[in-house]
Amino acid sequence: MEARLKGLSNGGSKPASYSDRIESIKFIEEDEVKEWVAQMEPEIMVIVVFADLDPWRSMSYVVRDVVVVFGLAAVAAYFNNIVVWPLYWIAQSTMFWALFVLGHDCGHGSFSNNAKLNSVVGHLLHSSILVPYHGWRISHRTHHQNHGHVENDESWHPLSEKIYRNLDNGTRTLRFTLPFPMLAYPFYLWSRSPGKKGSHFNPDSDLFLPNERKDIITSTVCWTAMAALLVGLSFTMGPLQVLKLYGIPYWGFVIWLDLVTYLHHHGHEDKLPWYRGKEWSYLRGGLTTLDRDYGLINNIHHDIGTHVVHHLFPQIPHYHLIEATEAAKPVFGKYYREPKKSGPIPFHLLGVLISSLKKDHYVSDEGEIVYYQTDSKMTAN
C-alpha cells in the first residue's frame, strides 16, 4: 500500500496572492485507488493517491496497544509499591491516549473501509476511556469541516472579544490558567465550549442531526456501561485500586488529549490567522494547523502530531501521515511550518503551551481575517 503526494503546475510563473491561494477541494473515489485533490494556488495542486485501507494493519495497532495496556496494569498491580505506581500512571495515561487516537482513525473512516468494523472498534476503544464515540465523531467531523473558522470551528476555537469580556472571572481563570485548561475535555463533552450549547451525550443537542439520534443513544449507552463497570469494579477491587489502575491514568489521558489538540491550533511563534465569511475556506483553515514533534512519543501515539496533512486529508490512515507530509512539503512551501525537533521527551512544548495561554485570549468581533489578542489584565495577573 503506497501513499504519495505530488505537485502539478500549469506553468504559470506569477505567484498567487494570500487571499487567492485556495480555490477548491474535492474527494474522488475510484475502484481500488483513492485520490484526494486539493488546489492550493492557481499554479499548484496537491494530489494524494493510495490504495484501499488495510484493516489488518490497523487491527495490529489495536492488539499492540491493548496488550500493553493490560500488561502495564498487571505489572503495577503485582508490584503495588510507591515506586512503580507513578511510572505506571505516566505510561498508562499515554497508552489511553494512544487508544483514543486509534478510535480517532475509526471516526474518520481511515481505520478500514468497513463502516461496521470502524463503529465496533471505535466504540470499544473510546468507551473504554469514557469517550462517547458517535458524539465525539460527529462533533469532530464538525471541527474538520470548519477548522480555522472563528465561530463554526468546534475544537479550541477562539473566543470573540464579546464572549471573552462576558466571562465571569472564574470561567476566565479556568480557561487560561494551568492546569485547568488541560483538564477540560470531560466538561467539554458534557457542555461544550463557552458560547456554544449542547452535550455529546444528548441526542437532541444542536450538535446532531435528527437522523443521528440512534447513534448518539448507542454511544451514550456504551459510555454508561463502562461507567457502571468501573463502579462495579470499585466494589470488588476497592475504590482505591480502581483509582490507581484507572482513575489517575484517565486524567493523565485527558491532559494528553487537551495538550495535543490545543497545540495543533495554537502556540506558533508567528501569529496565525482565524477566518470568517468569504475569507474562510476548507484549505485555508487547514493550513493554519500545526505539526508537532513529540520525540519518543510519536510512535506510541501513532504520529498524531503529524497534523497538517491529516486535517486536509483525514481519510489518510495514521501509518501514512509521515510519508504523505514529506511528499507534501515541497508543494506546501511557505504555508507549511516545520515543527521544532524534540528531544526524547517533548518538554519544550510545555513552554509553548504556557506562552500561548498567556497571550492568546480572544479575537476581534469584526473582520474576516483576525488574530489572537492579549488581555493585558490577564497577563498582569
DSSP symbol at 43? T
C-alpha cell recorded at residue 30: 475510484
pLDDT for the residue 14: 29
- Of 2-11, 164-173, 323-332, the range with the lowest mean pLDDT is 2-11
DSSP string for 16-42: PPGGGS--EEEEEE-SSEEEEEEEEET
Confidence at 376, pLDDT banded by 50, 70, 90? confident
Q: Is the pLDDT of residue 314 over 50?
A: yes
pLDDT for the residue 6: 39
Look over the chain and give the mean of its residue pLDDT values, rounded to a whole number. Answer: 87
The model's pLDDT over 79-129, given as tens digits with 9 standing for 90+, comes to 999 999 999 999 999 999 999 999 999 999 999 999 999 999 999 999 999
pLDDT for the residue 380: 63
Overall average pLDDT of the 337-356 stretch: 94
| Alpha-carbon gap, residue 176 to 262, rounded angstroms | 12
pLDDT for the residue 66: 98
- Name the strand (E) or helix (H) holding 44: strand 44-51
pLDDT for the residue 46: 55
Overall average pLDDT of the 173-191 stretch: 93
Higher local confidence (pLDDT), 10 or 52: 52
Confidence at 324, pLDDT banded by 50, 70, 90? confident
Helices 115-128 & 55-79, crossing angle to 10 degrees?
20
pLDDT for the residue 49: 53
Q: Is the pLDDT of residue 184 over 90?
A: yes
Confidence at 155, pLDDT banded by 50, 70, 90? confident
| Alpha-carbon gap, residue 242 to 240, rounded angstroms | 5
Percent of the chain residues topping a pLDDT of 90: 72
Confidence at 10, pLDDT banded by 50, 70, 90? very low
The model's pLDDT over 247-264, given as tens digits with 9 standing for 90+, comes to 999 999 999 999 999 999
pLDDT for the residue 317: 93
Confidence at 335, pLDDT banded by 50, 70, 90? confident
C-alpha cell recorded at residue 140: 469532530
> Around 208, how many Cα atoms within 13 Å sit in the side-chain half-sphere?
21
Q: Could you count the other beta carbons within 10 Å of the beta carbon of residue 327?
A: 18
Q: Is the pLDDT of residue 11 over 60?
A: no
Overall average pLDDT of the 264-283 stretch: 92
Q: Report the greatest alpha carbon distance in the chain.
A: 71
Q: Is the pLDDT of residue 39 over 70?
A: no
| Alpha-carbon gap, residue 374 to 356, rounded angstroms | 10
Residue 17, class by beta-carbon neighbours within 10 Å (0-12 exposed, 13-18 middle, 19+ buried)?
exposed
SS3 at position 231? helix
Confidence at 47, pLDDT banded by 50, 70, 90? low
Q: Is the pLDDT of residue 360 over 70?
A: yes
Confidence at 52, pLDDT banded by 50, 70, 90? low
Confidence at 236, pLDDT banded by 50, 70, 90? very high
DSSP symbol at 363? B
Question: Residue 8 pairs with which residues in a beta bridge?
Answer: 45
Confidence at 170, pLDDT banded by 50, 70, 90? confident
The model's pLDDT over 204-223, given as tens digits with 9 standing for 90+, comes to 998 999 999 999 999 999 99
Confidence at 381, pLDDT banded by 50, 70, 90? low
Helices 84-108 & 115-128, crossing angle to 10 degrees?
150
Confidence at 22, pLDDT banded by 50, 70, 90? very low
